[in-house]
């Protein structure tokens, strides 16, 4: 897209300087730009995604993916927080500090992921789960968890466990 915008800008500049660009040349240049954009997208690795979910990079948080369950009833954001957590920080400590900073409930052992810590932010309706090993932590932010979505969430966690074993 950026190449196409650059192409349009260059075409406009050429027109102002009395350079004639034919419609055929412009169409060919646009086609070349579209092909270059498509090739660039093909180079990006496909993000793993379970059936019934969509996934995209979270542009507002580094090292983060956003998953949305079909129907939009359940959303899970996965963020790798190793760099921000510092070396040696355990999941319980990270969860406690994050919960305090976000004015959420005190962390408790997660009933969804073994050896994880969970806390709820009632103001935003989000549950957060911190898991991993010291200095290598993952933060799940879950929106829409309820009795109706619990099965889909459990399947999603199994998908994460499978993906982590794949390396």
- pLDDT tens-digit series, residues 13-56: 222 222 233 334 434 444 555 555 555 445 557 889 999 999 99
Please say whether the beta carbons of 128 and 116 come within 8 A.
no
pTM for the whole structure: 0.71
- The residue-averaged pLDDT of 99-108 equals 97
Parallel, antiparallel or unpaired: strands 53-57 and 64-69: antiparallel
Burial degree of 133 (CB within 10 A; 0-12, 13-18, 19+): exposed
């Amino acid at each position: 897209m950026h190449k196409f915008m650059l192409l349009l800008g260059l075409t406009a500049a050429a027109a102002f300087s009395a350079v004639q660009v034919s419609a055929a040349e412009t169409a060919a240049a646009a086609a070349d730009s579209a092909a270059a954009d498509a090739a660039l997208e093909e180079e990006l690795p496909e993000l793993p995604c379970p059936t019934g979910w969509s996934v995209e990079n979270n542009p507002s948080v580094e090292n983060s993916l956003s998953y949305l369950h079909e129907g939009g009833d359940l959303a899970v954001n996965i963020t790798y927080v190793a760099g921000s957590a510092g070396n040696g920080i355990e999941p319980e400590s990270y969860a406690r500090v994050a919960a305090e900073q976000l004015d959420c409930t005190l962390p408790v052992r997660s009933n969804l992921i073994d050896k994880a810590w969970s806390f709820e932010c009632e103001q935003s309706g989000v549950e957060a789960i911190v898991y991993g090993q010291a200095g290598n932590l993952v933060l799940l932010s879950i929106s829409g968890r309820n009795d109706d979505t619990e099965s889909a969430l459990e399947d999603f966690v199994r998908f994460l466990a499978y993906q982590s074993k794949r390396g």
